[in-house]
Amino acid sequence: MPDRVYLDWNATTPLRPESRAAMTAAFDLVGNPSSVHAEGRQARRVIEEARESIARVLGAAPRNVVFTSGGTEANVLALSPGLRAPAGPVERLLVSAVEHASVLAGGQFDRKELSTIPVTPSGVVDLERLRAMLAGGPPALVSVMAANNETGALQPISQVAEQVRQAGGILHVDAIQAFGKIPFNVSELGVNLATVSAHKIGGPKGVGALMLGAGIEGPAALLRGGGQERGRRAGTENVSGIAGFGAAVKAAMAALDADLARVGSLRDRLEAGLRQTTGVVVFSSDAPRLPNTTLFAAPGMKAETAVIGFDLAGIAVSSGSACSSGKVQPSHVLEAMGASSALAQGAVRLSLGWSTGPEDVDRCLEAWRKLSLSLLKRSGETELERF
């Protein structure tokens, strides 16, 4: 669509030119990557080059990167009771209250083996509560995301990893929102398993990966059949998708430092403008966050109405609420943070990316000026100060 502004980069990103070129070249490959002839070896080479690129960024061994159909499958594969911790097989699963739905569902664990780790009002995992939950119980698999997809809040992964290590457990990190946006090295952080996804960094949809740390046994394969991915995930690999993933990783990392500063500056400019409307709340603003993410709400504002209003103004944004069977439910992330239901139901997420420019931020703020006046007046908040 012409003249549209895309501010929903945490949902998915445009396909990078480098990724498109790599995928186009891979479409012409004839061989099955499991075949031993020249055509098969050529396809296998493309997969292994992408695997090495991802492993290099994560600080992992290439042989421990397992390609999947996306982040959800990678999370479910990781959350396996078949894993062995230093103190023995894991018998329970601890997940933070702000995780993605694929983690909150417990993966392959029985629901009775799952416990939820509370978070602070800033959306950061409560380390004292985690320490208490780890103490005195059987070995645990702990899952804490690196960066929240709604608020952008960064979790204290190294501190979590230390607690889990001392308790003889295993730490899984959903790094899907962090990977390619901020530095994330599993060796430096002490992470045992990590999941990443291609389409959050300019790669294609439908490709993800699970990283297994050194010494991790398992997890049990979800898909059994052929011996692909060293027996961890059966099925012929998505050669073109994996090629696009590898190219996107290289492009994202080449621009990482510059994007961190530029996008962070634009996010600060955006939030300064939003706060000129009295009553606007920016969630997790007192915690370390991704440089591209703003989740905000204003008294009396309904998220679905605001999202439609932004869309009609030519701006794509997301709601902080999830729709299920036609019923709008407050964000589980904001509920866990203790936000009021009324405020949570009005949360709108703005997320920026590598092609976002100052003019996009200014256009968003201009749309907000008009929207806030009409939406908040309609709800009776007529005393709010305007731009």
Segment 270-309, tens digit of pLDDT: 999 999 998 999 999 999 999 999 999 998 888 999 999 9
pLDDT score for 136 = 79
- Match 């976002």 to its residue by tokens: 356
* Residues β-bridged to residue 196: 209
Catalytic residues: 323
Report pTM: 0.93
- Contact call for residues 68 and 209 (beta carbons, < 8 A): yes
SS3 label, residue 48: helix
Q: Give helix then strand counts, H and E, for the chain.
A: 13, 17
Query: 368, 371, 367, 297: which is closest to 331 by C-alpha?
Result: 297
Cα distance between residue 279 and residue 158, in whole Å: 35
Give the domain 256-378 fold.
Aspartate Aminotransferase, domain 1 (3.90.1150)
- Contact call for residues 113 and 93 (beta carbons, < 8 A): yes
199-221 CB burial, b ≥16 within 10 A, e <16: bbbbbbbbbbbbbbbeebebbeb
Assess whether pLDDT exceeds 80 at residue 113. Answer: yes
Cα distance between residue 210 and residue 174, in whole Å: 9
Give me the torsion for CA of 327, 9, 288, 361, rounded to 10°. -100
Give the domain 17-253 fold.
Aspartate Aminotransferase; domain 2 (3.40.640)
- Residue 222 banded pLDDT, cuts 50, 70, 90: confident
Domain extent listing, the chain = 17-253, 256-378
